[in-house]
A and B are shown apart, each in its own frame.
Chain A
Amino acid sequence: MNQELTTPVENTWCPGCGNFGILNAFKKAVQILEAKGVDRTYLILSAGIGCHGKIFDYVPLSGLYSLHGRSMATIQGIKLGNPDLKVLTFAGDGDAFGEGISHMIFAAKRNADITVIVHNNGTYALTTGQFSPTSQKGFKGPSSLEGNPEPPINPLSLMLEAGATFVARGYAGRIDHLALLIVEAVLHEGFSYIDVLQPSVVFNNTYKEYNSLVEIIEKPAERLEDAVQRAKRFDRMPIGVFYNVTKPVFHKEFYGEWNPVMNRLSHEERLQRILSILNNRSMKEVEDMKK
């Protein structure tokens, strides 16, 4: 793996796309994480399907390029297979809040130790701009010529209510700020959610709006209710960490310190234990009486 974190794959995002900001912020985050002792070989990635997912091909790190809406299930599986790994997925707003919303809610509910970064552009861009779960009401696309009839989902308040222990919002136009959010999310033990405001230059160009509305949060809310209230503000677009608490994580609640691939029972030990289960099956007490 090269130090510059580049791959030979041709980048096919539209010039000016917010995804470039996320890619650059992620590369910076990897460098900072390495300085903090997180070896990049332990950082395992996934992605859903959509424009955002191409990021999987643009960084030379290991992982599994998953299905639309399933990457948060994929990385929970990776974490359960080897809890020593740090797992992170990129997802689109369609991935996370359309196709895969149940996985998001349950990952938050069980405080799975994973990081989900949603490239929230409020449109299905790779399929040419239909409305998505986070599109504004009235959004016009090829399947909603008269405007999206549904109000948008609020990803931040939903994740907070579902039990996420780290919730943040970043902006693709503030790369250094976003990089630090990613670092913090990866280091956080528990379910980390970052909603990234991502302008789609072709289908939902929101640069102007976000540039005037974003304002950096100095520190996370102490109380969940305050974090939720902040997440529901629309007059400004607060970016930064909304909420950050420590709670027991799923794999440890479940396994303790056990690691399936590092602490495997030997084949011989397994066979011995199977034999002992089989031997304990018979009604020996009755047999003994008959002797």
Chain B
Amino acid sequence: MNDDIFTFLIAGKAGQGTKKAGIVAANFFASLKRNVFQLNDYPSLIRGGHNFSIVSTSSRKIYSHYMKADLAVLLDQRSVKSHRNHLTEHGLLVYDDSTGKQEQGIGIPIASLAKKYSNPDLIVGVAGIATLAAAIACDRAILDTIIQKEYQRNAQDNLSYAHEIYDKVFEKIPEQFIIREGTDTHPILTGAESIGLGVSAAGLDLYFAYPMTPSTPILHFLSSQGKKLGVRTIQPENEIAVANMAIGATITGARSMVGTSGGGFCLMQEAFSLAGMVEAPVLFFLGQRPGPSTGVPTYTEQGELLFSLYPGQGEFPRIVASPGSIEEAFYLSAELLNLAWQYQTPAIILSEKHLTESSMNVDLEPGKISEVKPAIHTEGKYQRYRKTDSGVSPLLFPPSKNMIKWTSYEHDEDGYTTEEAEEISQMHIKRRTKRESLIRYLQQNIQTVNEYGSGDFCVFTFGSTTMSVREAIIHAGLSCTVVQPIYLQPFPSWNLTKFAGRPSVVIEQNSTGQLEQLLREKCGILPMNSIRQFDGRPFDPEILAQKLKEMIV
């Protein structure tokens, strides 16, 4: 590798604490002022199976994990089988040799040493951290501090177990890795946490969700931290209730959001359309996993891009945007909540498991986020659907001496049901006008497309794949321009058509090229190449860099 990337991999059964060890390792690297990216890979089960966590770290900003590890700690035979070839040139494999079976690498009796402690299954994650500490020549006192802070249950057991592992690895390791200190420390967040903080900053009051991977981490984060942030979480009986309750809450002025994944979002189509008709500003989070149907619940995909653009029946303005990094997720989620209220229409944060459940260090400035107040009625007779130049009617919340009627039927300006031809047309025009105002606002005030790097060759991508692409390009030192549409509905063709005619590739995580279709249809961009991956796994930047190198000559 041409820069100082170091990758730590820990793998084992569900319940062995590999994810926790990954998080601890990431925080440990962060305390060395290094940048980190952590990926958790796990199947849909609670005990057994095969889980792993990868932490890649560098003294420069890093946007992806790498599949090849410098240090791999493999807690069971299945992990050895799966990962024995996932090593860098000088990579070191540390495995559990409790069964007596010999492998390439350093055997440590990880399981049998754990036997004398309470919870021998749960404690083995500690072995990963102790191995890491020994392999990078970290002082034992520092290891103790980490263990005491991060593994507080049965702390004494954890400490003595960590010491045993540390000493054994230290004794057997041929040469230690040198990890340089970086320059700055920044907190580490998952994408889900970043989204939760972003919407809290923009004034979210209520978060409604029915559990579904990969949106569940937002529900969990806001359930644990929301109260502190002024947000409450509610888990109703199904996604239909989720969306309808959120719409109900908005009419009181409460800023409301729902979180779901593809299947749950299907159940919300009817309510999404209701939100469009009554003009309820609800923010939806749509987390993608491989589909169709139940699909592959705990893995990643971008197969719902086109599905997300036109949810619900009928014509009304929809807003869809997808964050290209964990940092961007913070600002964009806040921006979408604000836009929903400014234009009184449903908005969607479109993302993927790879973003919500991966983590990286972030440099966030909450002060940059504002809570944009919606248009509020001040005097005179109130009409919920009063026609205005922008199409946006001022809001008013109960209790009020004025009558405030939000109506799912086509309605007149007062909110009474109508079937009159002229009124039907007028309300269609009002909603269409809102969309036109929204587009003007996006054009004038909002960054709708990101561009990274320079070079004639264009790499189009979106969502979390942007992170994989940026990492691949930095890693391989490629000269090209990454073009990431942040907004997908309305599609920001005003910022994209200039790229037509340039040599290009579209990189996305689906099999049919949905972003490519949009670029063709909306901007007349005819990409020359495409790289698509749809096996549920995010791209490995090394493999992606190889493919890109062949295209950018």
- Once A42-B398, A77-B246 are accepted as A-B contacts, the answer to whether A106 and B241 lie under 8 Å apart by CB is yes
B367:A271 contact, CB within 8 angstroms: yes
B452 interface hit (Cβ, 8 Å): no
- Establish whether residues B248 and A82, one from each chain, have CB atoms under 8 Å apart when the complex forms: no
**Residues in A whose Cβ lies below 8 Å from that of B247:** 64, 74, 77
- Asked if B112 CB lies within 8 Å of chain A CBs, one says no
- In the assembly, what is the distance between CA of A105 and CA of B400, in Å? 31
List chain B residues, Cβ under 8 A from A264. 203, 205, 230
Taking CB atoms, residues of chain B closer than 8 Å to A286 are 28, 31, 142, 145-146
With a CB–CB cut-off of 8 A, which chain B residues contact A44? 251, 398
Q: In the complex, A271→B201 CA distance in Å?
A: 6
Q: Which B residues are CB-close (under 8 A) to A54?
A: 417
Cross-chain contact of B244 among A67, A260, A289 (Cβ < 8 A): A67
Mark out the residues of chain B between 238 and 281 whose CB falls within 8 Å of any chain A CB in the assembled complex: 238, 240-241, 244-254, 256, 270-271, 274, 278
Complex interface: stretch among A117-125, A184-192, A230-238, A277-285: A277-285
Chain A 261-286: CB-based contact to B (< 8 A → 1; otherwise 0): 10011010111011101110111111
The smallest C-beta distance from B257 to any residue of chain A, in angstroms, reads 12
Give the dominant DSSP class at B's interface.
mixed
Query: Cβ of A73 < 8 Å from any Cβ of B?
Result: yes
CA of A46 to CA of B185, assembled, Å: 52
- B residues 366-405 in Cβ contact with A at 8 Å: 366-367, 369-371, 397-405
Residue of B nearest to A286 (CB): B31
The one of B189, B203, B248 that contacts A73, using a Cβ cutoff of 8 Å: B248
CB-contact partner of B234 in A46, A61, A254, under 8 A = A254
Q: Is the CB of A57 within 8 A of B200?
A: no
Find the residue from A49, A54, A63, A85 having the highest chain B CB count within 10 A. Answer: A63
Please determine whether A271 and B369 come into contact, CB atoms closer than 8 angstroms: yes
Q: Does B228 count as interface, using CB distance less than 8 angstroms?
A: yes
Chain A contacts with B in 215-249, Cβ cutoff 8 A = none
Give the contacting residue for B252; candidates A67, A81, A106; CB below 8 A.
A81
Are B149 and A285 in contact, with the CB atoms below 8 A?
yes
Q: How far is the CB of B220 from chain A (nearest CB, A)?
A: 15
> B403 CB to closest chain A CB, in angstroms?
5
- Digitize A30-63: 1 where CB-to-B-CB distance is under 8 Å, 0 elsewhere: 0000000001011010100100001011001111
A81 touches B254 (CB 8 A): yes
Contact A81 B248 (CB under 8 A): yes
A254 to B201: give the CA distance in the assembly, Å: 23
Is residue A65 within 8 Å, beta carbon to beta carbon, of the partner chain?
yes
Contacting pair A62 B403 (CB below 8 A): yes
Q: Closest CB of chain B to A126's CB: distance in Å?
A: 12
**C-alpha gap A102/B241 in the complex (Å):** 9
Interface status of B119 (Cβ within 8 A of chain A): no
Tell me if A66 is interfacial: C-beta within 8 Å of chain B.
Answer: yes
Q: Nearest A residue to B27 by beta-carbon distance? A: A283
Could you tell me the distance in whole angstroms from the C-beta of A181 to the nearest C-beta in chain B? 24
From known contacts A74-B245, A282-B187, A283-B149, infer whether A260 and B232 are also in contact, taking CB-CB under 8 Å: yes
Q: Which residues of A contact B3 (CB under 8 A)?
A: none
A contact patch SS: helix
Q: Which residues does chain A contribute within 8 Å of B186, judged by CB atoms? A: 282
Give Cα A84–Cα B270 distance, bound, in whole angstroms.
28
B-chain residues with CB within 8 Å of residue A81 when the two chains form the complex:
205-206, 248-254, 256
* Residues of the A chain whose Cβ atoms lie less than 8 Å from the Cβ of B278: 64-65
The stretch of B6-14, B348-356, B406-414, B518-526 that contacts the partner chain? B406-414
Contact A103 B398 (CB under 8 A): no
Q: Which residues of A contact B206 (CB under 8 A)?
A: 80-81, 260
A7 to B397, CA, bound (A): 20
Q: How distant is the Cα of A255 from the Cα of B249 in the complex, in angstroms?
A: 15
CA distance A185 to B387 in the complex (A): 38
Interface residues on A, range: 35 or more
List residues of chain A with CB within 8 A of the CB of B72.
none
Distance in angstroms between the alpha carbons of A106 and B142 in the assembled complex: 52
Residues of B within 8 A of A46 (CB): 248
Complexed CA–CA distance, A235 and B499 (Å):
78
Within 8 Å by CB of A261, from B146, B254, B407, lies B254
CB distance from A92 to the nearest CB of B (A): 15
Against B, the Cβ 8 Å flags (1 = close, 0 = not) of A1-37 are 1000001110000000000000000000000000000
A214 to chain B, nearest CB (A): 32
Residues of B within 8 A of A105 (CB): 237
What chain A residues lie within 8 Å of B240 (beta carbons)? 70, 73, 102-103
B229 engages A102 (CB within 8 Å): no
B416 pairs with A57, CB closer than 8 A: yes
Tell me which residues across on chain B come within 8 A of A1, comparing CB atoms.
Answer: 401-403
Q: Is the Cβ of A289 less than 8 Å from the Cβ of B250?
A: no
Contact A274 B244 (CB under 8 A): no
> Complex formed: what's the CA distance from A73 to B31 in Å?
47
Contacts of A64 in B (CB 8 A): 247-248, 251, 278, 405-408
Which of A9, A103, A267 meets B371, CB within 8 Å? A267
Distance in angstroms between the alpha carbons of A223 and B257 in the assembled complex: 41
29 interchain pairs, CB-CB under 8 A: A1-B403, A9-B416, A9-B417, A49-B408, A54-B417, A62-B404, A63-B405, A64-B247, A64-B248, A66-B408, A73-B240, A73-B248, A74-B248, A75-B248, A80-B245, A80-B249, A81-B249, A103-B237, A254-B232, A254-B234, A260-B249, A267-B201, A269-B230, A273-B229, A282-B185, A283-B28, A284-B31, A286-B28, A289-B142
Across the A-B interface, the 4 shortest Cβ-Cβ residue pairs: A77-B248, A81-B252, A281-B187, A265-B230
Residues of A at under 8 Å CB distance from B? 1, 7-9, 39, 41-42, 44, 46, 49, 54, 56-57, 60-67, 70, 73-82, 84-85, 102-103, 105-106, 254-255, 258, 260-261, 264-265, 267, 269-271, 273-275, 277-279, 281-287, 289-290
